[in-house]
Amino acid sequence: MFSANLGMLFTDRDLPGAIRAARNHGFGAVECHWPYGVAAEAVCAALDETGMEMVSINTVPGERAGGDFGLAALPGRELEARAAIRQAVDYAARIGARHVHVMAGRSTDHEAAEAVFRENLRYGCDLAGPQGVGLLIEPINRRDVAGYHLAHIEQAAATVAAVGSDCLRIMFDCYHLQIMQGDLIRRFEAHREMVGHVQIAGVPDRHEPDGGEVHYANLVKALRRLGWDGPIGAEYRPRSGRTEDGLGWLAAFQGERA
């Protein structure tokens, strides 16, 4: 099953309309970035109508105009980070979302940032676990987001191990990991037990996953052989601007039982 990331797909519609469009065009689930401007009741109604699951949402990134791209690993901004986690966990619980991606942010002093990150994640796990919500952390490539605190899967694995909660998992975003590290199948295999969600996009242009340097039809089959049976999130920018114009990959991948 493939999940449409509505932060990039079907963006010409409001969120409930995008959920309906994703279902109508063959996706089995949805995920999004920051849904907080839409009433949870409206999202729930669209999910119920379509039978779709919301796989994940993100914590707010902070002040994007000021360079923020997440808050959880920023020393001195713990109150903001925890408020963002509370907001996301509450919204996720209200709409039945499976995960919250806790955005780390950019760091300069890695050791101090990592200490803050781990404490904020422990706080988040204590909050999310009782509500049936999981947390995700995602290595993000530093070409697109210079200075992002978390950029390698081994670092993410160390963070998950240090936090020590079953609530916390890794977002295995193939686009970011291919840019930073490559060797995707072996890296997935090595960290399979810590992976909570998988995302795909063409590399290096972040367009549809049937182009670029990664052969996703083969990669997705390999992930399935290695035991991944969860949704695979399509988080890419449509090449033509219209999501509908570039969905040939979806029918092809589903036809191959990827």
Cα torsion 113, 115, 116, 118: sign: positive
Distance of alpha carbon 215 from alpha carbon 86, whole angstroms:
38
Distance CA 223, CA 181 (A): 17
As a whole number of Å, the CA-based R_g of the chain is 17
Determine the straight-line distance between the first and last CA of the chain, rounded to whole angstroms: 9
Catalytic residue flag (residue 235): yes
CB 117 within 8 A of CB 159: yes
CA-based max dimension of the chain: 50
The 10 Å Cβ neighbour count of residue 245 is: 11
Q: Of the residues 49, 235, 244, 256, which is catalytic?
A: 235
Residue 138 falls in the annotated catalytic set: yes
Which one is catalytic: 138, 193, 244, 256? 138
Residues acting as catalytic residues: 138, 235
